[in-house]
Amino acid sequence: MGDGGRLDAPKKGEPMSTPQTTSLSGRVLGSARRGEDGKSRPAEKRAHKSSNRTVLRPLVGVALVLLICELVSRFEILSSKYFPPVTAIVTALLAEAGATVFWKGLWYTLEGWGTGLLCGTALATVFGLIFGASPFLLRSFRLIIEALRPASNVNSRSGADRTGGGLNWSDVPTP
pLDDT tens sequence across 50-89: 677 788 889 999 999 999 999 999 999 999 889 999 999 9
Confidence (pLDDT) at 9: 57
Confidence (pLDDT) at 89: 93
- Does residue 74 or residue 173 have the better pLDDT? 74
Whether the pLDDT of residue 158 is over 80: the answer is no
Whether the pLDDT of residue 175 is over 80: the answer is no
CA atoms within a 13 Å half-sphere pointing along the CA-CB vector of 60? 6
Burial 3-41 (b: 16+ CB within 10 A, else e): eeeeeeeeeeeeeeeeeeeeeeeeeeeeeeeeeeeeeee
Whether the pLDDT of residue 3 is over 60: the answer is no
- The pLDDT > 90 percentage for the chain reads 41
Res. 29 pLDDT band, cuts 50 70 90:
low
Whether the pLDDT of residue 36 is over 70: the answer is no
Whether the pLDDT of residue 161 is over 60: the answer is no
- pTM for the complete prediction? 0.42
Average pLDDT for residues 98-126, to the nearest whole number?
A: 95
Confidence (pLDDT) at 68: 96
- Does residue 127 or residue 42 have the better pLDDT? 127
Most confident of 26-35, 101-110, 151-160: 101-110
Confidence (pLDDT) at 149: 78
Ranges of beta strands (E only) in the chain are 21-22, 28-29, 33-34, 40-41
The amino acid present at 56, given as its one-letter code, is L
Confidence (pLDDT) at 160: 46
- CA dihedral (123, 126, 131, 134) in degrees, to 10, reads -160
Q: Where are the domains of the chain?
A: 42-97, 99-149
Whether the pLDDT of residue 131 is over 70: the answer is yes
